[in-house]
A and B are shown apart, each in its own frame.
Chain A
Amino acid sequence: MSAISRDVPIMKEGSLRAPRIGLVKQIRSNLFGSKRDTLLTVVLGVVIAAAVYFAVDWLFVSAAAPWAPAESCAAVAGACWPFVVEKYRLILFGTYPYDEQWRSFLASVLLIAAVAVSMLPSFHNGRLAWLWGAVGIGFYVLMRGGYFGLDYVQPERWNGLPVLLMLAIFGLVFAFPVGVLLALARYQSQLPAIRAFAVLYIELVRGVPMIMVLFLGLFVLPLMMPEGITLSPLLTTMVALVFFHSAYFAESVRGGLQSVPRGQHEAADSQGLGYVQKTRLIILPQALQRSMPAIMNTVLGAYKDTSLVVIIGIHDIMATAKMAFSDPSWQHYGLEAYLLVGIWYLATCWCLSSYSRWLEARTS
């Protein structure tokens, strides 16, 4: 708390160099500079030491090693790593046919690779649309099968990682252009009816929880279809996600649109550019660049929130983790399964936020 009680060493007369303080002294004055600092140090020190002690004990010291036999788990108080070794395929791919799980794996790798390629700034142009079209078809063919001698796998058995990636990534890929259109519709004043619709839509969607929108997709969307058309829950969930995320994208992009200087509009108008040309060539590129931090924030939040599809019965990795420890002989090891899921999210979210920081540093 010594943001304020920083003790500034006095400069020696005649010296132009700031006096040096030793590391030990610096640490001592930081941690034990005042009574309040000392108290804080002691309290936090005890909390941190206890947390580290219990974590290390549970994770390593009193845990069953991954290579140990499964029976050894019953004897230990800590984590049971043989469980993770035994069940990792179930957690990653769920009930997808065991012998075909290489397809699930390949489909996941395809999506991750496509995301990695899309992150390269040199790809931020029209080529992305082609890339994602191809990736979508490739993913569908791999997962569903029925072509090229691949066995057909019904969508109910698509589980785990590929489902999470599919819903998160395709949901965002489709929601983004819709969000940009909504933002443009809200930002202009020439077409008040369209603008009113955009405002109503954005505010309505942002006023209700994501779960509600997912339930709308589950319960109401199928009712809107004519007789004879049945939608798979995966498809309705995807549609609901696109509806939901687009409203949030719209708000992030609107911030960027508002920050484009008036002069840019006027200059484009005086060049004789039409609305489409002006928006595509002058306004949007600047607006998108300015709203990049907000967009990446939305992406991160949306990716994490994709896990909520578990609640409406879609089996992403959180649900397959639950499957893994629903097995009666492994039922005490749920925390290990959730830890695995947590590490996945920590790693992927960290990549996303590092990318967003890098992008920001690059453009500024």
Chain B
Amino acid sequence: MPRRFPKSAVVWQGGFILLLVFALVLAVRNIDANLARAGISVSFDFLSSHAGFDINESLIPVSSESSYGEVLLAGAINTVVLSLICILGATFIGVVMGVLRASNHYLGVRLALVYIEVMRNLPKLLILLALFLAVINALPPVRQSWALHDMIFLSNRALYFPALEAGSGMRLLIVLACLWPVSIFVLGKVARRIQDASGTVYPVFWPVTGVLVAVVAASVLFGWADYPVSYPMLQGFDFQGGHRISIQFLVLAAALSIYHGGQVAELVRGAIEAVPNGQFEASRATGLSFLQMMRLVVLPQAVRIVVPPMGNQYLNITKNTSIALAVGYSDLVSVMTTSINQTFRPIELMTLSMGVYLVICLAVSFAVNAYNARVSSRGG
């Protein structure tokens, strides 16, 4: 049955839409007039023009010759990489602290409590800036870098370490890295079937990992594959060769992981405490070890509770990487502001960047929802 709306609803909404359209038209006209006075009009053509500024690190090749489009893409990739690292870090710290908080170990509970409270009551920017300052002051300048076996160098500019260059060794490693989860998954299924049929338990994870490590070790030892490595070397004012990760990135990853770890810890604690006590007692009674109990009984139940708020938390982490600008890491926002200052095209650049954030957030929330559906539908 089609719903009927009272006349007043039509009037209200008509008025509202008119007002909205009026405000929008006014804003657009003013923007046009203001931009025209500055001699420009809204257009995305500038994206292919020469940007002329370099960004400090990027996964795709970028130089001062690159276009605005390329530089923005590099910034967006940096945002994604930073988000992923922070999500991993915050989850790790949060799970450890959350389990400590839910335990009844005197020291553990208090340590976790102090950590969670401090993180809850401090702004993330303060943590970032204080950590950045402390690290910059503590580390030596590039030419006096701390060296580990003349291979890994740490200075107040970046961490330098040897890099594996493309070659047969690299290809072997990529193949094995793909094989690893697949074989664990397949063999795990087989092992479970055997266990269901006969009750015999075969370990899977460590044997598979051991075999793959042995293959790599053998290939190095017997020279089946070559591993060309480039080492960082101090030349002039900076290192050449190897890989480098900037201090800004390291500090950002650490600060955001520590900050969000506190919030994740609260979620984890809540989820563990929501698992009924009888589950703990029952798994003790069946003779499971602590780790078995956690892995087989408690965590699978806690995960169902924790996934929706955790997804929200991951979205927050992704959005909060935008404070990278405060320490000068070239994330999307930082590249965007530099571009705005150079081109004075705030409308185009802000639309583009907000679009990228919305897409990233939609992707994260889609992934979380898919996982959530899988976890909650498996068994009652």
Q: In the complex, what distance in Å separates the CA atom of A305 from the CA atom of B259? A: 13
List chain A residues, Cβ under 8 A from B173: none
Tell yes or no: B237 within 8 A of A by CB: no
Task: Determine the residue in chain A with the shortest Cβ distance to B23.
Answer: A224
Task: Determine the residue in chain A with the shortest Cβ distance to B117.
Answer: A350
List chain A residues, Cβ under 8 A from B108: 1, 40, 44
Tell yes or no: A98 within 8 A of B by CB: no
Shortest Cβ distance from residue A289 to the other chain B in the assembled complex, whole angstroms: 23
Determine if B12 and A219 form an interchain contact, defined as CB atoms under 8 angstroms apart. no
Which residues of A318-355 have CB atoms within 8 Å of chain B's CB atoms? 318, 322, 332, 334-335, 338-339, 341-342, 345-346, 349-350, 353
List chain A residues, Cβ under 8 A from B183: none
Tell yes or no: A298 within 8 A of B by CB: no
Main DSSP-derived SS at the B contact region: helix
If A31-B106, A308-B323 touch, whether A220 touches B358 (CB-CB below 8 Å) is: no
List chain A residues, Cβ under 8 A from B362: 207
If A40-B108, A215-B333, A345-B121 touch, whether A208 touches B129 (CB-CB below 8 Å) is: no
Q: In the complex, what distance in Å separates the CA atom of A299 from the CA atom of B283? A: 42
Q: In the complex, what distance in Å separates the CA atom of A161 from the CA atom of B325? A: 23
Which residues of B232-282 have CB atoms within 8 Å of chain A's CB atoms? 280-281
Tell yes or no: B5 within 8 A of A by CB: yes
Determine if A224 and B27 form an interchain contact, defined as CB atoms under 8 angstroms apart. yes
Q: In the complex, what distance in Å separates the CA atom of A40 from the CA atom of B205? A: 26
Tell yes or no: B296 within 8 A of A by CB: no
The range of chain A's interface size is 35 or more
Shortest Cβ distance from residue A345 to the other chain B in the assembled complex, whole angstroms: 5
Tell yes or no: A143 within 8 A of B by CB: no
List chain A residues, Cβ under 8 A from B137: 332, 334-335
Shortest Cβ distance from residue B343 to the other chain A in the assembled complex, whole angstroms: 12
Tell yes or no: B357 within 8 A of A by CB: yes
Determine if A335 and B290 form an interchain contact, defined as CB atoms under 8 angstroms apart. no
Task: Determine the residue in chain A with the shortest Cβ distance to B102.
Answer: A3
The interface bits of chain A over 130-154 (1 if a CB of B lies within 8 angstroms of the residue's CB, else 0) are 0000000000000000000000000
List chain A residues, Cβ under 8 A from B323: 211, 308, 311
Tell yes or no: A76 within 8 A of B by CB: no
Determine if B104 and A30 form an interchain contact, defined as CB atoms under 8 angstroms apart. yes
Determine if B107 and A41 form an interchain contact, defined as CB atoms under 8 angstroms apart. yes
List chain B residues, Cβ under 8 A from A224: 26-27, 30-31
Which residues of A176-222 have CB atoms within 8 Å of chain B's CB atoms? 190-194, 197, 204, 207-212, 215-216, 219-220, 222
Q: In the complex, what distance in Å separates the CA atom of A184 from the CA atom of B102? A: 38
Which residues of A9-49 have CB atoms within 8 Å of chain B's CB atoms? 27, 30-31, 36-37, 40-41, 44-45, 47-48
Determine if B105 and A2 form an interchain contact, defined as CB atoms under 8 angstroms apart. yes
Task: Determine the residue in chain B with the shortest Cβ distance to A36.
Answer: B290
In the complex, which of the residues A30, A47, A192 has the most CB atoms of chain B within 10 Å of its own CB atom? A30
Determine if B357 and A207 form an interchain contact, defined as CB atoms under 8 angstroms apart. yes
If A215-B350, A342-B122 touch, whether A191 touches B12 (CB-CB below 8 Å) is: yes
Determine if B133 and A346 form an interchain contact, defined as CB atoms under 8 angstroms apart. no
Tell yes or no: B378 within 8 A of A by CB: no
Q: In the complex, what distance in Å separates the CA atom of A322 from the CA atom of B132? A: 13
List chain A residues, Cβ under 8 A from B195: none
Tell yes or no: B88 within 8 A of A by CB: no
Determine if B358 and A208 form an interchain contact, defined as CB atoms under 8 angstroms apart. yes
Determine if B129 and A338 form an interchain contact, defined as CB atoms under 8 angstroms apart. yes
Task: Determine the residue in chain B with the shortest Cβ distance to A317.
Answer: B126
In the complex, which of the residues A48, A207, A334 has the most CB atoms of chain B within 10 Å of its own CB atom? A207
Determine if B346 and A220 form an interchain contact, defined as CB atoms under 8 angstroms apart. yes
If A209-B319, A345-B126 touch, whether A31 touches B325 (CB-CB below 8 Å) is: no
Using CB atoms and an 8 Å cutoff, list the residues of chain B in contact with chain A. 5-6, 9, 12-13, 16-17, 20, 26-27, 30-31, 33-35, 37, 99, 102-108, 111, 118, 120-126, 129-130, 133-134, 137, 280-281, 284, 290, 293, 319-323, 325-326, 333, 336-337, 340, 346-347, 350, 353-354, 357-358, 361-362
21 CB-based A-B contacts, threshold 8 Å:
A1-B108, A4-B293, A31-B106, A40-B105, A41-B105, A211-B323, A212-B333, A212-B353, A215-B333, A216-B350, A219-B340, A220-B347, A304-B123, A307-B125, A307-B126, A308-B125, A311-B323, A334-B130, A334-B133, A335-B130, A342-B126
Using CB atoms and an 8 Å cutoff, list the residues of chain A in contact with chain B. 1-6, 27, 30-31, 36-37, 40-41, 44-45, 47-48, 190-194, 197, 204, 207-212, 215-216, 219-220, 222-227, 300, 304-305, 307-308, 310-311, 318, 322, 332, 334-335, 338-339, 341-342, 345-346, 349-350, 353
Beyond A209-B320, A335-B130, list 4 extra A-B contacts (CB 8 Å).
A2-B105, A190-B6, A350-B121, A353-B121
